[in-house]
Structures are given as C-alpha cells and as structure tokens.
Structure 1
Amino acid sequence: MDSSRKEQQQDQNQKESKKKRTGVWVNGPIIVGAGPSGLAAAACLSQHGVPSLILEKSDCIASLWQYKTYDRLKLHLPKQFCQLPFLGFPENFPKYPTKHQFVSYLESYAAHFNIRPNFNQSVSSAEFDPAKSLWRVHTDEFVYISRWLIVATGENAEPFVPEIRGLGKFKGKVVHTSDYKSAKEFGGQKVLVVGCGNSGMEVSLDLCRNNAVPYMVVRNTVHVLPREMFGMSTFGVAMALLKWLPLKMVDRVLLLTASFILGSTDELGLRRPKTGPLELKNVTGKTPVLDVGALSQIRSGKIKVMEGVKEITKCGAKFNNGQEKEFDSIILATGYKSNVPSWLKVKDGMPKTEFPNGWKGHEKGLYTVGFTRRGLQGTSSDAVKIAADVASQWRSAEDCSNSCHSHIILLIGEN
C-alpha cells in the first residue's frame, strides 16, 4: 500500500472512530491541561460562578512537575511571584519552594477550589463548528462539546530534542532532562550536557556535586544573572525598577550589578547577548539564567564549558573548535516545546498578540493561558482576564444550555 493510500485509510479510520465516540455537552468552558495554567483558569472561573471541565492526558495534576523534573529543582523566583490567583503559598514554605512543595501547593489549590479534572483524557483534536458556534474536543472515548475552549497545555508540554549529527551512534546513555532525576546514577562519569540554560546549569552543578565531571555545551550567547542582588530577588528588583524606569535602563542596571557581583562571564565562555536580559525575554522568550552556584564551579574548572557540538561519535563528541573528547553519558538540556499545533485545528493557529493581550484566540470562544512567556505571573494575568470575559457571556449561554441541552449525553454522528 503506497503512502497516499495509507493516509487515506488513516483519515477514514479517524472518521469512523469519531462516529463511534460518545458526545458530552459541557455546561461551561473546556480546559485542556491540568497544570498551573489549567488550575488557575478553573479557579478564576469558579469565582464568577462559572463551571468548567478540565481534560488532562496524564493521571495527575501538574504532570510535568511531577514526572518530568529533576529532584533538586526549586522555583527560580521567590514564591510571591509564583502563586496562582486567590490563594497564596503557605507561610511556612521557604522563599524558593522545592518542586515537591510546589506540587503540594497545586494539589491544595485544586482541593480548595474543588477542581476535579478528568484524567487520562488525551485530546487528539479540537475543532470549531462555525455554523453552530461550538467547539468539539475529541479524545479516544468522547467528543466534548462547549461554546468555549481554553488551551492550557503550556509552552513546555513536550521535550525538545534538536537535530545533532551522529547522536544515534553514541553507545553510552542519552537522556533528556525531562527524564533526568538525580546525578547519583552518573557518579564518576564524564558527562556531556548539551544546553546552558537554567536546566543545563543546574544539572551540571548537580553532577559536579556528585563526583561526576560535566562538560557543558554553550551553543549561543547567554545572560547569567545572580538569583539575588544584595539580599533581594533579582526578579523582584527588576519588577520594582520597571515601575519607574524604561526597560532598557533597567537592563543596564541589572547588567552593571551582575558584573559587580559575578564578574565577567565572557572570559568563562559565556558570552552575553547584545540585547539586554529583559528585552531579550520579551522579544524571544529566552529566559536569563539565574545563578545558584554553577558559575563558581565553572571558575574552579569543575564544570567545563565547551563550544558547540559538531558531531556525536560512538564514544564521545567532536566540537566546533576542533577538539574531540570521550564521554560516558549525554544529557540534553535542550528545553521543551508546545504540542498545541498537533491537535488544535484552527485556521490561524494560536493568538500572536503580545502580552498582556495574548489570551484571546482568533476563533470565537477560544482562549489561551500560560503562553505569554511571563511565567506564572503571566499565567495568573491570563486566567483572570479569561474568566472575566467568559463570565460576561455566561448567563445568556446558561439559559440556552438549560433549554437546548439539559446536560444530556448525545451520540455524535455528524462529524
């Protein structure tokens, strides 16, 4: 069977599968994703008396945090900048909560607002019916139908693995940071860490503290800032200064202070971009590294900084500067990507409007939360605005829902 016939058969199978799915009317927005973004959206809606339904492909809330993060991870920002709307962190939590404490906070948040996601519901497609102004969200078993769809799967839904020549040849262990838990299993090894963002830095630090020898690949320029400046959060200082000074001026202050505290990073192989850290974050979404100890280990030579990888070999790697070294393992600290394009079937795709107005989609009733490149503060801002917008439409929609649908379950055969 040629490829075109296979594709036709797959399309036919999908259509047949859709016909057999049970349709469920959702009297309120459908939220895809039970991470911080989905929970925040549901909580904000509940404050307006608007019910919602969260569909989550995993078996728990915040599955990325629970299953795809390393053990030593802590929030990079103080807890007051990471709390979700209407419920803060417990007072006894430290300034920078651990990942386990953050998950505990999210579980308490869900319980407080009586949020009960439908777990193990992987969304295969979501499409808008313009004739009826309804969204149809397909899973393996059901077609969920609503006037509103809130995309809350986030910017970091799936691991990103770049094309690296020869990677498949390597005979040692290759692991993405989404599957990395602890440096204990790498003790005594020479490890190539590909990536120098916050994850790459922290994994390298974890490795050298567990008797491994990390070689960290720096492929591009990077801003490294101290996590704190004179006892105050660098992020908090930046937010305070932005109330009084233009962004470019704040960037200058941050870089001068960072140079005073950390010294020059260029001489360590960590060249700074020409664009300032906050401006770069706004334009590209690239987050500056907040140093938690890796820089001192680089200076001491315990973390080796390497130029870009030219090729992976059976036993190691060749680098752009001509060096070649052997390694026992490779860790890909190459970040994550969104999975939305694979299932959201809309003509114009995700909203392209910049923060703070990127929460409303092009199609009627489409919203996105957690795609602002502003971390959890951006998530909270999106959730509050989405809930207010949906609530303004809710009462008239509720009257129609009660008379037309009565919360019934339908058998869908019109797809």
Structure 2
Amino acid sequence: MKQETIVMIVGAGPAGIATSACLNLLSIPNIVLEREDCYASLWQKKAYDRLKLHLAKNFSQLPHMPFPLSAPTFVPKNMFVQYLKNYVYHFNVDPLYQRSVESAWYDKSAQKWVVTAQNNVSGLVEEYVSEFLVVATGENSEGFIPNVYGLDTFKGLVIHSSEYENGKTFGDKDTLVVGAGNSGMEIAYDLCNWGAQTSVVVRSPIHVLNKELVQLGMYFLKYIRCTIVDKMVLVLSKLLYGDLGRFGIQRPLKGPFLLKKETGRSPVIDVGTISKIKTGDIKVMTSIKDIQGDIIKFTNGQERQFDAIVFATGFKSTVRKWLKEDGGLFNEKGMPKHKSPNHWKGENGLYCVGFASAGLFGISNDAKNIANDIFRIVDGK
C-alpha cells in the first residue's frame, strides 16, 4: 500500500491535530498517523483523574477554536478531552490509527519524504510519500524512569506517572513519589488525600506558584520585561508560602519565567501540596542513593521502607528511533537543536510541533506557523 499527499503528520496528540486543522483550513491535503487507537491518547488514557490544565484557558486553546465562555478558567481533564473531540470533528481531522511509524527518510532524487508504518491491525507495512513531514510526537512520547541502583530488587509496586489514575488503590501504603514537577506534586497531593503515607523526592530547586500568580505573570509578560515580572511574582510567592527552605524546598537563582524561557522548566503550580508538606502529611526526601529490597536509602543518610514508588520523572522523545535524517532540526536526544522561536523548521520540508517546552500555547503557535509556511511554499509553486 502506497499513498501520496502534500503533508505527512506523525502523531495525533494536540500538536498533530492542531497542525492538521490549520492545514485543512488552508485546503492543504495531509495525512495524520497515530500509533494508538485514538487521538490525544496521553490525555484520554494516561492522565490522572484530578488533572486540570495548569494554565488559564485563554493560554491553552488550540488554533481557531476558543474554549466556551462557560468553561472554567482552569479546564479539567474530562472537559479538555471533550474540547478535543469537538475540535477534531469541527476541523475534519481524521487520523489513521494504530500506525506505528518505522522509518522516515528524505528521497533527494524525488525531493520527497518517504514514511513507512506498520498497520497494527492488518500487520501490513504501509508506505506514504509527501512533500513535507511534520513531527508531532512531541516531548512526551515515552515515559522515562531513571536508572536507580537496586530498583530491580524492589518488591512493591513501581509505576510511571503516566500509569497513575488516582490514589484509591494505594490505601494507606507508604508511597514515594520521585519527581517534584507539576505531575509529581499533584500526584503526591492526591495520594495523601486518599490516605496513603506519602513522601516526595525533591532533587533540585523549584519555584512554587499558584495558578493565579502564573496567570498574572503571563498577563504582565505581554507588556513588561521578564526579569521585572519575575521579581514581582517572587515577592508575592514568598508572601504566600514563606520560607520553603525549612521544609526541604529550595528556590532556583533565576526567576520562574526566565527559567522557563531558557530551559523549558516550568514552575510548580501548587494545588494544595505545600500545605500538606507544612503540616507533615507529605514528607520531603532528598535524592535516592540506592534501593535494597523495600528499603530506600537517600543521599542525606536517611533510610525508609516503602510499599510503592511512583516515578514522576518526565518523558523522552522517541524521534530518533524512526527519523533517519534529522533535517538539521533534531539533536541526538530527539529534541530541537535551536531554541524557541526558531525551533520548528528544518531542511527539506521537515517541521516539528510541540517541542518548544511551552505547553498548549506553544503547540498553537507552532501549528499556525507550520501551516502558514507550507501554504506560502505551495502557493508560490
């Protein structure tokens, strides 16, 4: 089976469907390939129950479709999934599901991209040919669990945060959450509320803000320099939370929005976790040194017994497993070589969307930029 089109899009998460929607509005033919059996599988199948969008809805909408006025400022998971359903229907986005891309390479003689994919239903290998290739698998393609010495000796439950739904099945188990990003802190809070004896590993300095402070900061960033916004937000954060160093949480030297811009690291948006830490209901631990059975040793010399570990240690890109030519776009880790805003376009018609470490807001900008750039090239031929 061989199909030809103008644009191939690999991945039907929010990045892929947003790009397809923008192309459809410009009447540019495109095909979306998705390895799972649904669009936005990370949201539909691998997001924990209490998850809400961490940014206000006006910073989280996809191109050309705002959230309904009735939607809350911070949209819950189920409402966002419904929004995506409406989006796919409205813009006639029709991915081909259960297609695992095996390779993509640029045919210089034909000046086209050749993509091969395994059809997981029929078992056949399919071939697609296009003028442009959009990598929309994003930064969150595969859950990452770090190598921890002795982890293979741990007899309790070990899961990645993408497998976590809620704390109901954990009961009163001694549970360690590894990772103090937004997912880790919110999962720790959820576990505690379900009655689990919860601890969280905070390995490096983090900024802690609430949703209102993030919303305020993002508003002022439109008009005021980042360094000034950071100073203002940090003053308010200190007034709100006090000195978190007493509880094992240090602040980075750079401000939250500058740090996000330079490294992609987001501030932790507190959902109630900090109050649980202050009361001692959630314990803060240092980095893991090693594991011996159900005993976990930490770098500060502490040793504790645990029944379960939840690794909220992020994801990794899988682009380099199947993209045979990086087109000057990707590094060896499958991430863009260039920083935002120059990260989305490579050579020979290769693009990427959802790799800017800027969430749904970044996805929206990438999708519009890519569709407009392709339209300009096609229209000029």
TM-score after normalising by structure 2:
0.94
Match for residue 406 of structure 1? Answer: none
For 2:380 and 2:370, the matched residues in 1 are separated by 17
Counterpart for residue 102 of structure 2: 124
Question: Which of the residues 311, 329, 349 maps onto 2:290?
Answer: 311
Match of 2:71 in 1: 93
Which of residues 200, 203, 212 in structure 1 aligns to 2:196?
A: 212
Q: What's the offset of the Cα at 1:395? A: 4.2
Match of 1:171 in 2: 155
State the AA in 2 paired with 1:360. Answer: K
Q: What residue is the counterpart of 1:256 in the other structure?
A: 235
Rg larger for: 1
The aligned amino acid for 1:302 is: D
Distance in 1 (alpha carbons) for counterparts of 2:248 and 2:72: 33
Alignment match, 1:70: 48
Structure 1 residue 352, shift from structure 2 partner? 2.1
Cα drift, residue 107 of structure 1: 0.9
Residue 357 of structure 1 and its aligned partner are, at CA, apart by 2.4
Q: Measured at CA, do residues 292 and 84 of structure 1 come closer, stay the same or move farther in structure 2, by a change above 3 Å?
A: same
Does the alignment pair 1:32 with 2:17?
Answer: no
Q: Does 1:301 align with 2:286?
A: no
Give me the whole-angstrom Cα distance separating, in 2, the residues matched to 1:240 and 1:91.
19
**1:387 maps onto 2:371 in alignment:** yes
Q: Deviations over 1:124-169 (max 9, x none)?
A: 1111112211000111221100000011111111101111111110
What residue number does 2:351 align with?
A: 367
Answering whether residue 336 of structure 2 is matched by residue 357 of structure 1, we say no
For residue 373 of structure 1, report the CA deviation from its aligned partner: 1.3
Matching of residue 276 in structure 1 with residue 255 in structure 2: yes
* Residue identity in the other structure for 1:356: P
Identical aligned residues as a percent: 46
* 1:396, distance to aligned residue in structure 2 (A): 6.3
Deviation of the 1:184 alpha carbon: 0.5
Query: How far off is 1:355 after superposition?
Result: 1.7
Give the SS at the match of 2:101. coil
Q: Check the 8 A contact 1:316/1:328 in 2, yes or no.
A: no
TM superposition score normalised by structure 1? 0.87
Secondary structure in 2 aligned to 1:103?
A: helix
* Residues 1:291 and 2:270 are matched in the alignment: yes
- How far apart, in 2, do the equivalents of 1:314 and 1:239 lie? 46
Deviations 1:256-293 (A, max 9, x none): 11001111111111101111111111121111100010
Unaligned runs of 5+ in 1: 1-21, 229-233, 398-415
Distance 1:390 1:110 in 2: 21
Distance 1:343 1:279 in 2: 33
Residue 99 of structure 2: SS of its match in structure 1?
coil
Q: In the alignment, is the contact (CA less than 8 A) between 1:226 and 1:261 conserved in 2?
A: no
SS in 1 for 2:100: coil
Task: Tell me, yes or no, if structure 1 residue 202 matches structure 2 residue 181.
Answer: no
Give, in whole Å, the separation in 2 of the partners of 1:219 and 1:138.
41
| Alpha-carbon distance between aligned partners in 2 of 1:87 and 1:282, rounded to the nearest angstrom | 26
Distance in 2 (CA, whole Å) between partners of 1:352 and 1:392 is 24
* Deviation readout 1:279-310 (Å, 9 max, x if unpaired): 11112111110001000000000000011110
Residue pair 1:226, 1:262 contacting (<8 A) in 2 also: no
Which is worse superposed, 91-100 or 374-383?
A: 91-100
The CA deviation at 1:190 is 0.6
Map of 1:224 onto structure 2 = 208
Question: 1:240 aligned to 2:185?
Answer: no
Structure 1 residue 65 displacement after superposition: 0.9
Task: Give the whole-Å Cα distance in 2 for the aligned partners of 1:354 and 1:80.
Answer: 24
User: How far apart, CA to CA, are the structure 2 residues paired with 1:235 and 1:291?
Assistant: 10
111 and 66 in structure 1: CA distance in 2 versus 1, 3 angstrom threshold: same
The answer (yes or no) to whether the contact 2:202–2:287 under 8 Å persists in 1 is yes
* Alignment partner of 1:52 out of 7, 30, 39: 30
Shift of 1:349: 4.5
State the alpha-carbon separation in 1 of the partners of residues 36 and 235 from structure 2. 44
1:160 aligns with 2:144: yes
Query: Aligned partners of 1:261, 1:142: CA distance in 2, in Å?
Result: 56
Total equivalences in the alignment: 369
Shift of 1:393: 2.3
Displaced runs of 4+ in structure 1, greater than 6 A? none
Residues of 1 paired with 2:329 and 2:69: CA distance?
A: 41
Deviations 1:76-103 (A, max 9, x none): 1111110001111122222212111111
Distance in 2 of aligned mates of 1:61 and 1:244: 36
Please give the alpha-carbon distance, in whole angstroms, between the structure 2 residues aligned to 1:305 and 1:156: 26
Looking at structure 2, the residues matched to 316 and 211 of structure 1 have their Cα atoms a distance apart, in angstroms, of: 21
Partners of 1:243 and 1:283 lie apart in 2 by 17
Q: Is the 8 A contact 1:169 1:312 kept in 2?
A: yes
Give the SS at the match of 1:345: coil
